[in-house]
Structure 1
Amino acid sequence: MLPKHIVYILFFCLVVCSKTWVATAQTPEDYYQRGIQEIRQGEYTRALQNFQIAVEHNPGFAKAHAAVGTIYLQLKDFTKSEISLKRALQITPNLMQAETNLALLYTKTSRIDQAIDLYRNLTRKYPKVVGVWLGLAAAYQQNKQFQESIEIYHQSLNLSPNIAEAMSNLASCYEAIDKIDQAIKYYKQAIHLKPKLPMANGNLGVIYLRQGELDKALPLLENAVRNDPSFTAARFSLGLLLIKKREYERATRTFRSVIAQQSDHIGAYYNLAQTLFRLKQIDAGKKAMETYRRLSRIAQEIDTRQRATLNEPANPQKHYKLGLTYQKYQKYDQAINAFQEALRLNPKLTDAHYRLGQLYLRARKLPESEKAFLAGIAIAPEQALLHAGLAAVYYTQGRLNDAFLEYNTALKYDATLAIAKAGIAAIHHRREEIDKAINAYLEVLTLDVNAHYALNGLARLYLEVKPNGNNHMTPQNIVDLAEKAVRLLPRPQYMHTLALAYLYAGEHQKAVNTINTAIKLEPKNVSFQQTLVKIKADEKTNLQNK
């Protein structure tokens, strides 16, 4: 568990150690001070821009590099954060902000030994800085070295006795080694200092729930969920308590909320099924139970793969297969970790490089994706999929000439590789070479009649050009292409194409239903929202013209 206040303390150090910015930014120092002001206002993106300008104007400005690294750490872009923090330390060794945040980065990226070594060194340099001790305690805690963590939390509290979060984390360490009385003591002290602290309320509530003291547990769990609606574990425990109190309707609502937050929560589905059966909602209960069984099978498959890595921790194939299983079930962060471990054990495992490249590309981490594909190509230069993956990175970056070259290289090594041919079609499309794009997409479909990406691409292309002298696609033909793509793979982007096809064909209700489904899957997608507005406006116009 990482105390949430540590990052706050490090940002606070950054702010209070700097002068107030009062003038229009002109020098690197001015841009730096403007960034400090924006951190105070919670404007991290704007702060990052100003720190980056400061670095551009003065590449030797160590504090600005450290600030860039700190912002990236806050934004969870750990690769960029590490580059900037280490650059700051190259310029100014022992720069406290850079060292402390680098230690925190090591903790967040599970490099615990490095984190502990760095924090240990920092406690010797800065024995009175409580944030350093808290960072060390958190690293020990994450590494399940609870006794060491307890000692360091006490040291931190000796320096600053009223840090409620530190008391809560100390209590959780005592709970982990089964010293429940001590855990209760420090959770209570944390709540006394900060009554709305979610972690302390939730964890103490769970202890009382296990002890059968429901009346004590209920207000604590309610308080935890009220003050942190995203605290899924506390909400689940609240649901269990409500079952014990026979409040089945409220328990049902609670478990549904848990599932809305974590769609693969096995325990929530099981207990939801039980509450629905109690409420005589048999069909809904059966549906929830079937989902529980499906998720249990997935969990069992993952557990089997995890056990294989524990039995043979030095076998890269075991970690690679675990990564494939995580990827199969869309647990992408865990998949990345597994593939990285496989490559640590065998840097020449090209399949792992390819998978990492795919996952980074999906996450729009393009430099990391490019690096992974290039690493694979260096090992196996004739592997077509690696060249196609690299081409996809270049295409996403807008480097169309490089992408075109790599797609053709992929086809040189495998002339039947449909995704490479589809990539070339997409480049022709982007260049507005419509006839070439159509022919290329049709070639893909001769290679693979179920190439959903080609069906979707072709439908989008025909929607742009509409029927003309060179093609005779009717609106229904375009709908057929888009529908098939969605049947093969119900991606929100494919649904967007289908909604546009329905609109073109005059089927407004189908268009509305389809785009609404896409919006449910990606509620923050602005293009989907704009298309919904367009469909409704078109429908209104048609009604007025009748």
Structure 2
Amino acid sequence: MDHIKSGIEALQKQDLEEAAKHFNIAIEENPNDPVGYVNFGNLLMRMNELEKAERFFQRAIELDEKAATAYYGLGSMYYTGEMYEKSIQQLMEAVKLGLDEGDVHYLLGMSLQQTGQEKLALPYLQRAAELEDRDAAIVFQYGLALANAGEVDTAQRVLLDLLEWSPNHSDALYNIGVAYLYQQQFEKALAYMDKALEAQPDHEMAMHGKAQIELIMEQIENEE
């Protein structure tokens, strides 16, 4: 029996006890194989046992210093624990070792953002969006990063593309409205604030944005 495969299948079914049984057997049968330790670490992360998970990931790296998924596991664990500097260090190593997956680049980009390194974060978020172009959370964060970097037009295009397959994404709708406001296209800005509120009636920023735009439009009308 392939206990790693069976453990992963159990983990996907949320059967944590069964997953633990299979991963434990895999480690007992192959104590020098880092794969079992990585998967047990992932299981412990799912159980929020972060300190124990860290030990399993580190053991995997002791067995194979080029085990990219172990560095990713550590980086993901540190990100969950809001230890962003440590997260960056581990995720960078995973990328250097060739792990080219959307979640790796996404967590690295978000970690860099959390440490105030927005410009460095942008290419990683871009790569994440390329690899996971139907993951609304990832594509939205890439669009937001573009906007924060001053690339408003590009950000707007990314978010408009997102709406093609996620039309009720209220934060995307709101930020497109903000982009139109920045471009002084007030009617379009107002329309997108309304759409954001249709998608999420309690969206406070959209409420505030709508009120702001309506005030600007009223002032323009009075000046005329």
What TM-score do the two structures reach when normalised by structure 2?
Answer: 0.77
Give CA-to-partner distance per residue, 1:501-542, whole Å, 9 cap, x none.
Answer: xxxxxxxxxxxxxxxxxxxxxxxxxxxxxxxxxxxxxxxxxx
Q: Map 1:243-262 onto structure 2 (within 5 A).
A: 243-262=147-166
Q: Which residue of 2 aligns with 1:163?
A: 67
Amino acid at match of 2:147: I
| Contact 1:197-1:224 within 8 A present in 2 as well | yes
- Give the Cα separation in 2 of the matches to 1:105 and 1:267: 34
Partner residue, 2:174: 270
Q: CA deviation at 1:253?
A: 0.8
Partner-residue secondary structure (3-state), 1:251: helix
Picking from 290, 293, 297, the partner of 2:197 is 293
Report what 2:96 is aligned to. 192
Q: In the alignment, does 2:95 pair up with 1:177?
A: no
> Is residue 7–residue 22 contact of structure 2 (8 Å, CA) maintained in 1?
yes
Deviation at 1:265, TM superposition (A): 2.8
CA distance in 1, matches of 2:57, 2:168: 34
Q: Trace 1:235-250 onto structure 2 (pairs within 5 A).
A: 235-250=139-154
Question: Which residue of the partner structure matches residue 144 of structure 1?
Answer: 48
Secondary structure of 2:59's aligned partner? helix
CA drift at 1:252: 0.7
1:472-487 matches, cutoff 5 A: none
Tell me the amino acid that sits aligned with residue 27 of structure 2: T
For the pair shown, the structure with the greater C-alpha radius of gyration is 1
CA distance in 1, matches of 2:107, 2:51: 19
Alignment pair present for 1:221 and 2:125: yes
Question: Are residues 129 and 263 of structure 1, via their aligned partners in 2, closer, same or farther at CA, if it must alter by over 3 Å?
Answer: farther
CA distance 1:146–1:270, change in 2 (3 Å): farther
Counting only pairs closer than 5 Å after superposition, residues 387-466 of structure 1 correspond to structure 2 as: none
Separation in 1, partners of 2:191, 2:181: 11
Question: What do the CA deviations read for 1:203-237 (whole angstroms, capped 9, x no partner)?
Answer: 22222223332221222222333344345433222
Q: Does the CA contact (< 8 Å) of 1:249 and 1:279 recur in 2?
A: no
Specify the code of the residue in structure 2 equivalent to 1:151. R
Asked if 2 retains the 8 angstrom alpha-carbon contact of 1:168 and 1:199, the reply is: no
Aligned partner of 1:123 among 12, 17, 27: 27
Deviation at residue 174 of structure 1 after TM alignment: 0.9
Are 1:202 and 2:106 counterparts? yes
Structure 2: how far apart are the matches of 1:288 and 1:173? 37
Which residue identity does 2:151 align to in structure 1? E
> Which among 9, 14, 21 is matched to residue 110 of structure 1?
14
Aligned to 1:366: none
Query: CA offsets, 1:426-447, max 9 Å, x none?
Result: xxxxxxxxxxxxxxxxxxxxxx
Structure scoring higher RCO (CA < 8 A, sep ≥ 6) equals 2
2:61 alignment partner, SS class: helix
Flag structure 2 segments of 5+ consecutive residues without an equivalent: 204-224
Residue 37 of structure 2 corresponds to 133
SS at match of 1:250: helix
Partner of 1:233: 137
Q: C-alpha root-mean-square deviation of aligned residues, in Å?
A: 2.5
- Encode CA deviations 1:157-179: one digit per residue, 9 max, x unaligned: 22222132331221010111122
Cα distance, 1:269 vs structure 2? 2.0
2:86 maps to amino acid:
Q
Give the 3-state SS of the residue equivalent to 1:123 in structure 2: helix
Letter in 2 for 1:160: D
Query: Is the 2:84–2:115 contact (alpha carbons within 8 Å) kept by the matching residues of 1?
Result: no
Letter paired with 2:25: N
The residue type equivalent to 2:42 in the other structure is A
Distance 2:197 2:80 in 1: 30
Aligned counterparts of 1:177 and 1:269: Cα–Cα separation in 2: 30
Q: Kindly state the Cα deviation for residue 147 of structure 1 after the two structures are TM-superposed.
A: 2.0
Q: In structure 2, what is the Cα distance between the partners aligned to 1:262 and 1:169? A: 29
User: Residues 137, 264 of structure 1: CA spacing in aligned structure 2 closer, same or farther, 3 A cutoff?
Assistant: farther
Q: What CA distance in whole angstroms lies between the structure 2 residues aligned with 1:162 and 1:231?
A: 29
1:256 Cα offset (Å): 1.8
Distance 2:168 2:56 in 1: 36
Distance 2:135 2:4 in 1: 28
Q: CA deviation at 1:109?
A: 1.3
Q: Structure 1: any 5+ residue segments left out of the alignment?
A: 1-94, 300-546
Q: What is the number of residues matched between the two proteins?
A: 203
Offset at 1:298? 9.1
Please give the alpha-carbon distance, in whole angstroms, between the structure 1 residues aligned to 2:137 and 2:22: 32
Alignment partner for residue 5 of structure 2, among 89, 97, 101?
Answer: 101
Post-superposition shift, 1:101?
2.4
Contact 2:153/2:179 (<8 A) preserved: yes
Helix, strand or coil at the partner of 2:129: helix
Cα pair distance change 1:295/1:247, threshold 3 Å: same
SS at match of 1:175: helix
Point out the more displaced range, 207-216 or 289-298. Answer: 289-298
Alpha carbons 2:163, 2:169 under 8 Å: kept: yes
